[in-house]
Amino acid sequence: MTMADRDLGALLLRQLREGRGWSWADLARALRDTARQLAIASLMNRQVASIQRTVARWESTSDRTTPGDRYQFLLAHLYARTATGDLAIGPGSDFDILMDALRHFGTPSQRVRQLVELVSRSGRSSSDDLLMLLSAGTQSTIAAVQRDPSKLDHEVINRLHKSVAEINGRIGAAPFVRLQLQLAPVVESCRHLLELDQIGPREELALLATSAYSLAGRLAFETRDDEAAMALYTGATKAAEHLTDRSHRAAVQTSHTMVTLHATGNLEAARTIAREATVEAHRGSSYAIRARAHAVHAEICARAGQADEAAAALDRAWKTVEQLTVDDPHGGFNADRLNGFDGLCALHAGNASHAHDTLNRSVAALRLSKDAVQRGIVNTDLALARLRLGDPAACVALLHEAVDITAATGGRVAAQRIRLARHNLRPWRAEDFLSELDDHIHDTLIGR
């Protein structure tokens, strides 16, 4: 994308807005109203003035801001319909001009085709527009249940569970914003169904809601919508209260702990949730969740400078890992993941050699696409261990890899860790290898 291309994209957006007689504030209100209609939590309650500033930056010839995935989706939905509400996406339509503007902004052709397909599939019914982000089968399933909640049965819930699992499985391979949009209709369906007094398999619905809300909270955090993330984790915890197996509630709380830590930096708040998670985990059936709960508690203690408490929690985590079974329904946490926590705790305790060995084992095992976000985090922790062992060049080499992983996944925690590592590298600011790293960070993470 050249600056001339970007300027033309900005001009086309301005012409679209003015063609409808809208000011920046008018367009901002229309976008917020559309977000509310589609239940996109990250934007539905945003102040008009905030959205207006974003709109102004798109149209500026001196700003490099371009519409992100969420705004592209909202703009597409908005401009696909005329003032009378009719769908108009053919040549010369506002929607067609919008797609041209997005191309000039550098939006990949695959993304443009996806927007066209999504809007085309929405047809003329505004009530199902949010569902167009899902597969045809899931669309019809949710639409049928929304029309008649009595149709909610085991098969329907299983289909929705599968949709949540598929979205979760794409973390690291697809932008978080896109996954957030795809999950939104499932989350909203759960909210609607849970409000009904008489509804099919109640516990199965609670389990679906627990999974959907928890994943939505994670995605909201990754897209820097911390207020929505906290509300979703609260909803997931509340839904899990209706489940017999307390492992589900503990699983939500371990994730909530880490999001609270990295979103707010409030160790005390994170520690409170972590303690609750360990209690709930021991009331549940899953050894994997127990091990993760102890590992998360260990990290919080280590960050707080409580070395003895962290060591005790790690010891409990390792003993629990030894009891893992292949049929654990909450599988996924294992010795490879625990090595990452162990290494981070060792870093905080000042044992760089032990940290290096355990982190090296962890990162070597994180090779699947679904592990990419975690690999970016552990890679940066390993880089810090190398630095503490007196090898800044090796630290930077690992950070280059972490930067590429983070750029590909959008992982927020890894980005935080990269900033921390770069701060620790300040004594080597005159070295060429650090200048090269700064250029890489700027070109790949900041300047894109």
Could you give the 3-state DSSP secondary structure of residue 146?
helix
pLDDT higher than 90, residue 384: yes
Please give the model's pTM, rounded to 2 decimal places.
Answer: 0.79
Helix (H, G, I), strand (E, B) or coil at 216: helix
Query: In the predicted model, is pLDDT for residue 435 greater than 90?
Result: yes
pLDDT at 131: 52
**Mean pLDDT on 17-38:** 91
How high is the pLDDT of residue 448? Answer: 46
Q: Yes or no: say if 429 and 423 are a contact pair by the CB < 8 Å rule.
A: no
The pLDDT tens digits of the residues spanning 267-286 come to 999 999 999 999 999 999 99
Say which amino acid occupies 341: F
Comparing 109 with 434, which gets the higher pLDDT? 434
pLDDT band at residue 117, thresholds of 50, 70 and 90?
A: confident
230 pLDDT higher than 70: yes
The residue with tokens 């017999």 is 244
78 pLDDT more than 80: yes
Which residues lie below 8 Å from residue 380, measured CB to CB, with a gap of 6+? 398, 399, 402, 414, 417, 418, 420, 421
Q: Which of 382, 347, 349, 346 is nearest to 363 (CA)?
A: 382
Cβ neighbours of 64 (radius 10 Å): 12
The vertex-48 CA angle with 44 and 51, nearest 5°, equals: 80
pLDDT band at 1 (very low <50, low <70, confident <90, very high): low
pLDDT at 125: 43
Q: Which band of pLDDT confidence, cut at 50, 70 and 90, is reported for residue 124?
A: very low
8 Å CB contact between 41 and 84: no
Distance CA 358, CA 118 (A): 45
Q: Is the pLDDT of residue 199 over 80?
A: no
Report pLDDT digits (tens) over 235-265.
Answer: 999 999 999 999 999 999 999 999 999 999 9
* Residue 234 pLDDT greater than 90, yes or no: yes
Residue 138 pLDDT grade (very low, low, confident, very high; cuts 50, 70, 90): low
Which whole number is the average pLDDT over 175-183?
Answer: 82
Task: Name which of 417, 408, 410 is nearest 218 in CA terms.
Answer: 410
Report the pLDDT value the prediction gives residue 446, as an integer from 0 to 100: 67
Q: Do the Cβ atoms of 248 and 208 come closer than 8 Å?
A: no
Residues 100-124, mean pLDDT to the nearest whole number? 77
Per-residue pLDDT, averaged over 95-106, amounts to: 92
Question: pLDDT band for position 136 (50/70/90)?
Answer: low
Question: If you average pLDDT over every residue of the chain, what do you get?
Answer: 88
Of 31, 74, 72, nearest to 53 by C-alpha is 31
Domain ranges of the chain: 1-125, 359-448
pLDDT of 123 over the 70 cut: no
Burial, 211: exposed, middle or buried (Cβ in 10 Å; 0-12, 13-18, 19+)? buried
Confidence check: pLDDT of 143 > 80: no
Task: Note the pLDDT of residue 127.
Answer: 42
Handedness of CA 216, 218, 222, 228 (dihedral sign): positive
Q: Quote the pLDDT of residue 134.
A: 56
What percentage of residues in the chain have a pLDDT greater than 90? 60
Say what angle helices 372-388 and 412-424 make with each other, to 10 degrees.
10
> DSSP of 74-129, one letter per residue?
HHHHHHTB-TTS-B--STTSHHHHHHHHHHHTT--HHHHHHHHHHHHHHTT-GGGG
| Mean pLDDT calculated for residue range 92-107 | 91
- What is the pLDDT, as a whole number, of residue 348? 96
| C-alpha atoms less than 13 angstroms from C-alpha of 34 in its C-beta half-sphere | 21
The answer to whether the beta carbons of residues 372 and 172 sit under 8 Å apart is yes
- Name, in order, each residue with C-beta under 8 angstroms of 59's C-beta and a sequence gap of 6 or more: 10, 11, 13, 14, 17, 24
pLDDT band at 84 (very low <50, low <70, confident <90, very high): confident
Overall average pLDDT of the 124-150 stretch? 59
